[in-house]
Amino acid sequence: MTRFLKKGGLIAAVLIVALLADFGLAASGWIQNSGYFRLNDFEVTQQDHPEEVWDRVIFGSSELVSAYREDLTQANYVNLGMDYGTLRDLVEMLEGGYINVGSELVLALNWGVMYDDMDTNPTYAWHRKWYQPYTYFQRDRLQPFVMETFNALMGNGEFRTSNTEQQKIFYYGNMTQAELDERRERLHGLYFNGGMELYADNLAAMEEIYAFCAENGIRVRALWLPENPLVELEPLDVELREQCRAVSEAAGVTFYDMTDALEADCFYDTGHLDYDYGAVVFTEVLDQWLLS
C-alpha cells in the first residue's frame, strides 16, 4: 500500500507538472508570438491589430481577404477575412469574447461564408473543447516543430527561423476562361449539390449575429460580394443571396448587393479578386457605401 501510494503520488505530481506546463504554454501565446509557426488568418488579424477593441470590422471568408485593402481604404475597417471563415465562426468569436467590436460590423456574404459543412482551420481557438489540453489542440503545429528541432540537434537539418510579420494569402492575376469553367465545375460538385438545407446553420447564425449587435449597440450591415461576370451563376447561389437579403431586411439590416459591381478583369477566379487591381477597385467602390 505504501509503495502504491508513493507511485500514485509520483503520477499525480507528473500530471500536475504537465497540466501547469500546458496552461503556461497556452497563457504565454508563444505559438502565436514566436514566429516559428504559420499563423492562421485570425491570428494574422490579431498580429496586425493588437488593440483590445476593433471599432469597425468587416467579416468574411477568403474572398474578402484578397478584396478589401486596409492600406488603401478611407473607411478604416479591420479586414477580418478568414480562410474557411463562416458566420458560425463569427458567432463563436463574438459570444466567446475572442473579438470586441466597438461601433460597426459588416458581413461580407457569399456562398462560402454561408456553407454549413465548409472545411475549417482546426487551429482557430474557438474550436478547442474545454477538456482538450492546449498541446493536444495545437498538435498539428507542435509535432513538426519538435521533430525539426530534434533533427537539427542531431545534425540532420536546420533550426526554424522566426518570422513575426506574416500575412494572409492574396491572389494575383486572372484565370483563363477554361480555368474558370473548370473551377466552376469543381465548385458545383463540392458545394452546390443540394438545396437551401446546405446553409441552414449559417442562416441561423446570421440571425444570432443581428440579435447580438442589437443587444450590444453595434451598427450592423450586410453586403453580397461581387461575382465574376464570366462565370454563370449557380441557381442555388442566387437563391441563397435572396434568402440572405430577406433575413437581413426582416431584421432591419441594410443589404448591399454587389453581385454585378465589378468587371471580369478584377477577378482572379470565380470570386477571389486580383489583389493588385480588383481589390483596389473593390475597396474604392465599397468605401463609398461604408462611409454612407
pLDDT digits (tens, 9 = 90+) for 138-195: 999 999 998 989 898 888 888 888 888 899 999 999 999 999 999 999 988 889 989 9
Q: What are the residue ranges of helices labelled H in 192-255?
A: 200-215, 235-250
Cell of 71: 492600406
Domains of the chain, CATH where assigned: 38-121+167-290 (3.40.50.1110)
Diameter of the chain measured on Cα atoms = 79
Instruction: Report the share of the chain in percent with pLDDT over 70.
Output: 97
User: Residue 166 gets which letter from DSSP?
Assistant: -
What pLDDT was estimated at residue 7?
63
- Quickly state the pLDDT bin for 13 (edges 50, 70, 90): confident
- Is there a contact between 46 and 93 (Cβ–Cβ < 8 Å)? no
Cα 235-246-288 angle, rounded to 5 deg: 90
What pLDDT was estimated at residue 245?
98
pLDDT digits (tens, 9 = 90+) for 90-119: 999 999 999 999 999 999 999 999 999 998
- Is there a contact between 31 and 138 (Cβ–Cβ < 8 Å)? yes
Which residues are within 8 A (CB) of 5 and not within 5 positions of it... i.e. 6 or more apart?
none
pLDDT > 60? residue 69: yes
* Sign of CA pseudo-dihedral 88, 243, 194, 113: negative
What pLDDT was estimated at residue 1?
62
How far is the C-alpha of 211 from the C-alpha of 218, rounded, in Å?
Answer: 10
- Is there a contact between 104 and 77 (Cβ–Cβ < 8 Å)? yes
pLDDT > 80? residue 9: no
pLDDT > 60? residue 5: no
pLDDT > 90? residue 18: no
pLDDT > 80? residue 37: yes
Please tell me the pTM assigned to this model.
0.90
- Is there a contact between 278 and 173 (Cβ–Cβ < 8 Å)? no
User: Residue 161 gets which letter from DSSP?
Assistant: P
Which residues are within 8 A (CB) of 88 and not within 5 positions of it... i.e. 6 or more apart?
116, 201, 202, 205
